[in-house]
Amino acid sequence: MAYRVLSSRVAPSSHRLSRGFLCIFTLSLSVTYLCYSHIFRSDAVTMPSQRFGEPLGAPGSNAGAKRLLHKLHHCTSPRVAPDARPAPSAAPRARDYKAANASGAQRYGNKKLPNALIVGVKKGGTRAVLEFIRIHPDVRAVGTEPHFFDRNYDKGLDWYRGLMPRTIESQITMEKTPSYFVTHEAPRRISSMSRNTKLIVVVRNPVTRAISDYTQTLSKKPDIPSFEELAFKNRSEGEVDTSWNAIRIGMYILHLENWLQYFHLSQIHFVSGERLITDPAGELGRVQDFLGLKRIITDKHFYFNRTKGFPCLKKPESSSQPRCLGKSKGRTHVQIDQEVIEQLRDFYRPFNVKFFEMVGHDFRWD
């Protein structure tokens, strides 16, 4: 109606001009609408998970917001020359890749079998190493433990590959399953996947490791016998029960010998579980060197959380919030009699000495 009144008052040339203007206006409104609705449909901005001890598949979240901003930028940049836009087949730009990586849902690249594995040891600090190394932009990792080389081997390599995140050429694929280190078949199976696989073992004083292991079991099954009852066949004679897993896992040299049948020692990197707590940046520096990565993770990434009593990530790649590992990491241990601890130290000493000789490093567990 308003349009008709208007049209009756204006000259024919300005009439055509107004129609043209209205047309362009309606068109640009429609394009803007389509663009915004596309963004809000495809980018659910998720909240960051507070702790990454839990299956973290997606360490973050702000990437969703970053992508949102990125797309909004395209919508509100009308003066981009056509040839300045990336060709559909162009490689992803670093900015896109970084945001996608942080979201844990990188859409670029392919799923590849892992190049590097954290194979052990249970309660050594394997979760900390994985969560710290995965903030590196050239590392992509599976959040949960796939247990492929021990429990799921019959599912086949294609199944295993399917669990992996997408990576571009320059990125390393990783996973961690601490039980591999003590699984007899694991080294042979891993070497048949690739003889070039890089292996990381996080080792910790075997006595503390055993107590940590027991503390975890007790938290799930409160009715189990005491640590002392399980650790010894005959306590008065100091006869340790090596068939108990919590004890057996800490006899590192025995397991390592099995790995050395299939891998050269230079393919295995040992992280000190103790130094990982006192100097996480130092340990991560060596892990990055071993993996052939640029040293990007430094002390700037960590802070010591007094409440937790452990180093935490200051600003994970995926989030602006500091993050610590979950509650199951860094538990208060069950109190064990000092005499029992001494007996176990004596038991482990010869195994430790041989292990230190073999790896060429004294972890100072006495």
Active site residues: 123
Contact residue for ligand PPS among 49, 126, 173, 319 (CB under 6 A): 126
Position of tokens 């452990």? 310
Considering the complex, state which of residue 196 and residue 219 has its C-beta at the smaller distance from ligand PPS: 219
Which residues, including other chains, have CB under 8 Å from residue 110's CB and lie 6 or more apart? 166, 167
Position of tokens 């190049």? 115
Phi first, then psi, for residue 264 (nearest 5°) are -75, 145
Considering the complex, state which of residue 100 and residue 312 has its C-beta at the smaller distance from ligand PPS: 312
Can you state the angle between helices 94-103 and 62-75, rounded to 10 degrees?
140
Burial of 326 (0-12, 13-18, 19+ CB in 10 A): middle
Considering the complex, state which of residue 227 and residue 310 has its C-beta at the smaller distance from ligand PPS: 310
Give the binding-site size for ligand PPS (rule: CB under 6 A).
17
Helix (H, G, I), strand (E, B) or coil at 6: helix
Q: Within positions 293 to 312, which residues make up the interface with ligand PPS, using CB under 6 A?
A: 310-311
- Strand pairing partners for 269? 200
Contact residue for ligand PPS among 68, 128, 135, 284 (CB under 6 A): 128
HSE, side-chain direction, 13 A CA sphere, residue 122: 23
**Does 124 participate in binding ligand PPS (rule CB under 6 A)?**
yes
Contact residue for ligand PPS among 92, 282, 322, 330 (CB under 6 A): 330
**Contact range with ligand PPS by CB under 6 A, out of 44-52, 126-134, 243-251, 291-299:** 126-134
Joined together, the tokens standing for residue 200 give 């990381």
**Does 205 participate in binding ligand PPS (rule CB under 6 A)?**
no
Is 204 annotated as belonging to a binding site? yes
Q: Closest separation between CB of residue 52 and ligand PPS, Å?
A: 10
Is 315 annotated as belonging to a binding site? no
Q: Within positions 78 to 117, which residues make up the interface with ligand PPS, using CB under 6 A?
A: none
Phi first, then psi, for residue 302 (nearest 5°) are -120, 155
Contact residue for ligand PPS among 65, 230, 277, 296 (CB under 6 A): 277
Is 332 annotated as belonging to a binding site? yes
Q: Closest separation between CB of residue 43 and ligand PPS, Å?
A: 31
Q: Closest separation between CB of residue 320 and ligand PPS, Å?
A: 19
DSSP letter string over 32-92? HHHHHHHHHHH---PPPPSBSSS--SS--SHHHHHHHHHHHHHHT-TT--GGGSPPTTSPP
Which residues, including other chains, have CB under 8 Å from residue 133's CB and lie 6 or more apart? 139, 141, 174, 284, 287, 288, 291, 297
Burial of 9 (0-12, 13-18, 19+ CB in 10 A): exposed
**Does 276 participate in binding ligand PPS (rule CB under 6 A)?**
yes
Determine the Cα–Cα distance for residues 206 and 209; give it in Å rounded to an integer.
5
Considering the complex, state which of residue 99 and residue 313 has its C-beta at the smaller distance from ligand PPS: 313
Considering the complex, state which of residue 171 and residue 183 has its C-beta at the smaller distance from ligand PPS: 183
Contact residue for ligand PPS among 249, 291, 325, 359 (CB under 6 A): 325
Is residue 203 within a helix (H) or strand (E), and if so which, with residue range?
strand 198-203
Q: Within positions 45 to 84, which residues make up the interface with ligand PPS, using CB under 6 A?
A: none
**Contact range with ligand PPS by CB under 6 A, out of 222-230, 325-333, 338-346, 349-357:** 325-333
CA distance to 92, 101, 164, 267, per residue, from 106 (Å): 11, 5, 11, 28
- The binding track of 207-246 with respect to ligand PPS, each residue x by CB under 6 A or -, is -----x----------------------------------
Q: Within positions 140 to 199, which residues make up the interface with ligand PPS, using CB under 6 A?
A: 178
**Contact range with ligand PPS by CB under 6 A, out of 12-20, 73-81, 123-131, 148-156:** 123-131
CA distance to 44, 156, 256, per residue, from 274 (Å): 40, 36, 19
Q: Closest separation between CB of residue 294 and ligand PPS, Å?
A: 23
Which spans of this chain sit near ligand PPS (rule: CB under 6 A)?
A: 122-128, 178, 212, 276-277, 310-311, 325, 329-331
Binding-site residues: 123-127, 204, 212, 329-333
